[in-house]
Structure 1
Amino acid sequence: MITNLSSLRASRHDAWTSLAAGASALLLMTGAACADSSVTFQGQTYVNKGLVGIARVPSNAVDQFGDTLGGFGSGMAMNLDSWHKNRDGSYGGTSYMLPDRGWNTQGTVDFHGRLHRFELTLNPLYSGSTTSQNQLQLNYKGSILFHRWGGQQTTGLDPAGVQPADLIFPDLPIASNKSISLDNEAVVHVGDGTYWVSDEYGAYIYHYDHHGALLNVIRPPDAFIPMRRDSSGNLVEDFSANSPPIGATYDKGNPVSGRQNNQGFEGLAMSPDRKTLFILLQSALIQDLDATSSKTIKLTRNNTRLLAYDLRHRQPKLVGEYVVQLPHYQDQTTTTPTLLTAAQSELLALNDHQFLVLARDSSGGFTAKSAGSVYRSVDLLDISGATNIAGTAYDSPTTPVAPKGVLLSTITPAIYQKFLDINDNTQLNRFGLHNGAPNDSNDLYEKWESMAVVPVGDPRAPHDYFLFVGSDNDFITQDGHMVGQAYADATGANVDTLVLVYRVTLPTYVRPQTNPFEHFAGFGFGFDFDDHH
């Protein structure tokens, strides 16, 4: 739950206590070890030792600017230097949480991009069942607003134009108010006082200092840039995600090539030596799928791409590009067997070539037509044997890696394997949660979009870590506040933000370096915004 937010109107309802009626009747479990499940991946054994804690943040909590504190599960980054174990067996540390473009279920709004800071306290529950969902405490401490030098803030409004490149930045998507349009989705805490943030609109990667001022922008290869035809039939950059502002209507459809609408850079990670930035597209580029119909798109969008940038240059250099084949799942809305793609929502580096990937289905869970999800999973990925296509013809929008969604035989994709099933009701039920009916506030919401890993510090299990997985609630509340206006979401629901904590064994995880002078990409400020609050 959230604490110390009375002055920010955070305690307007007690939704976190509305637990499933029969939860107290669950059988006691003898311990997390009984729920252990393991997979062998690239010769190593990875173990899920079970769910050990929950945090629930009320849907109507607000931040220091008076805006609803929703959507902050879009991205999560831990300050590993802050993580510690207390004498009472609890753990504490600092987390940075990233909201996306603001409340947008009824149209995009002029929500200023920002990064929140929380102090965490974890009291893991290894055995038994409970109706409490407060083993993880989130204490909100403040936020920074992303902005250009000079103070102009960013916006969540759908891009309406392009600001031409200058000596510092590439072409940038801008809204009707001339602010940079951002749909932030993932964050990396570098350790030198700066942050990398991935975006869906561009799809671009943005680099900010400790005050939120924009330092640098990575523009991906041309193959990723959304292109549409103008009134004269010419192909032009068009960064719109077909997401009209509140009160406006238009239908631009998907781009002709480049990233799909709302399928930009969802995954962002950094190598342990802090020299390489990895960026994963949510699902395939338009030219790498079959765009004949919405069904063929959803089936064939599984060949997505992962980019790797060397940060030891003033302008990051593309050094790797790999195809990642996302998992398929059975469509539950039709009686005819139909496969769909589980798009990815987050990336976390285990080392310089292996990753955790958060993949999920859509339209299943609390407030959705279907109360249950088919695929929500933290999976394993290895790019060491994959074909590196960086700098080749595939970086052009006219040369697909998967024509009509079929990967070329000359390209070897990364190795991918399912690992941790978030939908496991055996684990969820221990804490009063569930996947599937009844469709209530303890039914997991559709979107799970953030991950972080911290050490357990158990000398008997040196490769054990706590894995945090966070949800994005889309700012859905009946008591909302944004850009100076009150709102009530049309769903009629209050969707709280949840964070799940698992204990896992990750034998190949390498702790990231935190020396701020290890490389030059951060422009070395050497301190963090939490030192200024």
Structure 2
Amino acid sequence: MLQIHRLMTSGIIAFALTNYANAAVDLIATGQLSGTIGDRSTQTAAPLENGVAGNLLGGLGSGIAYAGCETFLAVPDRGPNAVSYNAAVDDTVSYINRFQTLRLRLRPAATGSALPFTLSPELRATTLLHTDEALVYGSGSAQSLPNGAPALNAREHTRYFTGRSDNFAAAHLSTWPLDARLDPESIRASNDGESVYISDEYGPYIYRFDRHTGRRIDVIKVPDSFAVSTLSPVGSTEISANTSGRVANKGMEGLAISPDGKTLFGAMQSPLLQDGGTSGAYTRILRIDLRTGKSQQFAYPLSNIGTAAKPKYPTISDVVAVNDHQLLMDERDGNGLGDDSTASFKKVFLVDLDHAQDVSQASGAAGLAPYALVKTLFLDVVSALTSHGFATADIPAKLEGLAFGEDVTVNGQRQHTLVIANDNDFLGTITDTHHPNGIANPNQFFVFAFSSTDLPGFAPQDLRKRTCDAGRDDNHNNNDQGHGHGHGH
């Protein structure tokens, strides 16, 4: 019989499992939330411009962050734009940006189970993102669309950020903070638990929001060299019109926070235009001191998954801080479930910024190559999943969100956890050549365990600790009447 002892206040789940042998980084649990249901923001449930419900629960794995006590914060991207309806705005819609508060319950599995733990995800709250400042929304007239300002603005007396691509002021750089367009890709909780940091692709922006109300409370300065100067609601047009700055839809995909909460690390999905764009071999990591605002940049070498004659590079999807100078980078192809293809390259690499050269003044492959970081493989996700019976056609194409979670103890040995989540593109079901009869495409979560030997120097984020009671960490939302919550716990 399993002997179970739970240490509630220490944040460690301890189990004695005689049927599970410790190994290097390995899968210990999976869980999912349906991609066909609505979130708790019922006030946004009305159909969007493309007919999709405005509160469809999707894209949770764009970014995920641990907030303590089994609580995770998940941020969808700019919304459901997989349905074609208007190419003049890249099929984007007035989806109000938000983050979801989740409880991921990790529990021992029955003896003989394929994995040693079960994971039970639960949606606890939905928080809409907004500001008191006047934002610029697209008029829609040039695209035969309604005005981009959400109707909820007037009712709630605030201005909500949305994913529609025409919500910008053409006279400013793409990082101008009064543009209403936002394409969130990563999220991190502050150490005191009172706010969240979110990075995006449109700017690229890094904004700080009040965790309870969703109100923007700070703008973290990103260097102008990351911005584009000629803006367009169509990504391909924006790319061709600029020679410097982020590639459209390839912005600040990853965001990490140091264990002491004083430093942010932003990772660009693909190289900047001046570094070769999607054909470039070196993307950038931006390190920002939150106390001074000063930043440094580092060159990250992407893997060549093509050939020497015809190189092809994957993209960065997220980053987590191992300590104040080491990072885990999620580097992946776009293949798998959702792409009608089979997953091949999805790997997590370790890099160390100690003694690395700041490349803020360098550009292009020739300028970055001499100072590129050295990376080592930490986890081959495809290999790990297929070893547990996953078909490569069933591995999500967009495994994008990374977060360290709570510790577990297996057979008396303390293990740390890494949670990886998928962005399902708001497509709750998929029918393709690999699944001609259709298959569910939920929001999925994969939990991997690793030891201190696997990742020496790992230091968990110093989150403010509270007693983890039965209601867990989401209790702070129960009586909140601020903007942005869909209530109904």
Q: Tell me, yes or no, whether TM beats 0.5.
A: yes
Matching residue within 224, 229, 250 for 1:222: 224
Is 1:447 aligned with 2:398?
Answer: yes
Matching residue within 343, 365, 368 for 2:315: 343
Is the partner of 1:424 in helix, strand or coil? helix
Is the partner of 1:155 in helix, strand or coil? coil
1:171 maps to what in 2? 176
In 2, distance between residues paired with 1:478 and 1:434? 17
Is 1:319 aligned with 2:295?
Answer: yes
Matching residue within 374, 381, 385 for 2:355: 385
Q: 1:224 to 1:492 in 2, by over 3 A?
A: farther
Structure 1 unaligned regions, length at least 5: 1-28, 37-46, 83-92, 175-179, 229-237, 244-249, 290-296, 395-399, 437-442, 480-490, 517-526
1:276 maps to what in 2? 263
Q: 1:251 to 1:260 in 2, by over 3 A?
A: closer
In 2, distance between residues paired with 1:318 and 1:239? 30
Is the partner of 1:181 in helix, strand or coil? coil
Q: CA deviation at 1:528?
A: 5.3
Is 1:53 aligned with 2:39?
Answer: no
Q: 1:53 to 1:212 in 2, by over 3 A?
A: same
Would the aligned equivalents of 2:403 and 2:418 in 1 still touch at CA under 8 Å?
A: yes
Matching residue within 110, 122, 137 for 2:94: 110
Query: C-alpha deviations, 1:67-96, integer Å up to 9, x for none?
Result: 11000111111112x2xxxxxxxxxx1111
Would the aligned equivalents of 1:329 and 1:342 in 2 still touch at CA under 8 Å?
A: yes
Would the aligned equivalents of 2:359 and 2:368 in 1 still touch at CA under 8 Å?
A: no
Q: CA deviation at 1:458?
A: 3.2
Q: 1:61 to 1:163 in 2, by over 3 A?
A: same
Would the aligned equivalents of 1:202 and 1:239 in 2 still touch at CA under 8 Å?
A: no
Query: C-alpha deviations, 1:465-512, integer Å up to 9, x for none?
Result: 111100000001369xxxxxxxxxxx9764212111111123211122
2:415 maps to what in 1? 464
2:20 maps to what in 1? 31
In 2, distance between residues paired with 1:367 and 1:408? 34
Structure 2 matches for 1:126-525, cutoff 5 A?
A: 130=114, 135-149=118-132, 150-162=157-169, 171-172=176-177, 174=179, 180-192=180-192, 193-209=194-210, 210-228=212-230, 238=231, 240=233, 242=235, 253=240, 255-289=242-276, 298=278, 300-313=279-292, 317-330=293-306, 338-362=310-334, 364-370=335-341, 372-390=342-360, 394=361, 400-402=362-364, 405-408=365-368, 411-424=370-383, 427-428=385-386, 430=388, 433-436=390-393, 443-458=394-409, 464-477=415-428, 494-505=440-451, 506-515=455-464
In 1, distance between residues paired with 2:458 and 2:239? 43
Query: C-alpha deviations, 1:362-396, integer Å up to 9, x for none?
Result: 1x1124242x2221012111111210234xxx2xx
Structure 2 matches for 1:59-98, cutoff 5 A?
A: 59-64=35-40, 65=42, 66=45, 67-80=55-68, 82=69, 93-98=70-75
Would the aligned equivalents of 2:29 and 2:447 in 1 still touch at CA under 8 Å?
A: yes
Amino acid corresponding to residue 186 of structure 1 in structure 2: S
Q: 1:510 to 1:207 in 2, by over 3 A?
A: same
In 1, distance between residues paired with 2:110 and 2:241? 47
In 2, distance between residues paired with 1:407 and 1:462? 46
Matching residue within 83, 107, 119 for 1:123: 107
In 2, distance between residues paired with 1:277 and 1:267? 10
In 2, distance between residues paired with 1:498 and 1:213? 28
Would the aligned equivalents of 1:101 and 1:182 in 2 still touch at CA under 8 Å?
A: yes
In 2, distance between residues paired with 1:154 and 1:184? 10
In 1, distance between residues paired with 2:228 and 2:403? 30
In 2, distance between residues paired with 1:458 and 1:383? 30
Q: 1:492 to 1:454 in 2, by over 3 A?
A: closer
2:143 maps to what in 1? none
Q: 1:53 to 1:412 in 2, by over 3 A?
A: same
Is the partner of 1:260 in helix, strand or coil? coil
Q: 1:171 to 1:96 in 2, by over 3 A?
A: same
Would the aligned equivalents of 1:75 and 1:98 in 2 still touch at CA under 8 Å?
A: yes
In 2, distance between residues paired with 1:251 and 1:500? 35
Amino acid corresponding to residue 212 of structure 1 in structure 2: G
In 2, distance between residues paired with 1:310 and 1:470? 28
In 1, distance between residues paired with 2:175 and 2:339? 39
Would the aligned equivalents of 2:33 and 2:122 in 1 still touch at CA under 8 Å?
A: no
**Percent of aligned pairs with the same amino acid:** 28
Q: CA deviation at 1:216?
A: 1.5
Amino acid corresponding to residue 186 of structure 2 in structure 1: A
Would the aligned equivalents of 1:477 and 1:492 in 2 still touch at CA under 8 Å?
A: no
Q: 1:256 to 1:457 in 2, by over 3 A?
A: same
Is the partner of 1:115 in helix, strand or coil? strand
Would the aligned equivalents of 1:455 and 1:465 in 2 still touch at CA under 8 Å?
A: yes
In 2, distance between residues paired with 1:226 and 1:342? 22
Amino acid corresponding to residue 226 of structure 2 in structure 1: F
Q: CA deviation at 1:302?
A: 2.6
Query: C-alpha deviations, 1:137-161, integer Å up to 9, x for none?
Result: 1111111100012511111101353
Query: C-alpha deviations, 1:195-233, integer Å up to 9, x for none?
Result: 1100100011011112111111123112111133xxxxx
Q: 1:254 to 1:282 in 2, by over 3 A?
A: farther
Would the aligned equivalents of 2:20 and 2:116 in 1 still touch at CA under 8 Å?
A: no
In 1, distance between residues paired with 2:129 and 2:330? 26
Q: 1:356 to 1:213 in 2, by over 3 A?
A: same
Q: Superposition RMSD on alpha carbons, in Å?
A: 3.2
In 2, distance between residues paired with 1:253 and 1:493? 37
Amino acid corresponding to residue 181 of structure 2 in structure 1: S
In 1, distance between residues paired with 2:67 and 2:338? 33
Would the aligned equivalents of 2:176 and 2:203 in 1 still touch at CA under 8 Å?
A: no
Amino acid corresponding to residue 235 of structure 2 in structure 1: N
Amino acid corresponding to residue 285 of structure 2 in structure 1: L
Q: 1:239 to 1:513 in 2, by over 3 A?
A: farther
Structure 2 unaligned regions, length at least 5: 1-17, 46-54, 85-90, 133-156, 431-436, 466-474, 481-486
In 2, distance between residues paired with 1:478 and 1:367? 9
Would the aligned equivalents of 1:55 and 1:133 in 2 still touch at CA under 8 Å?
A: no
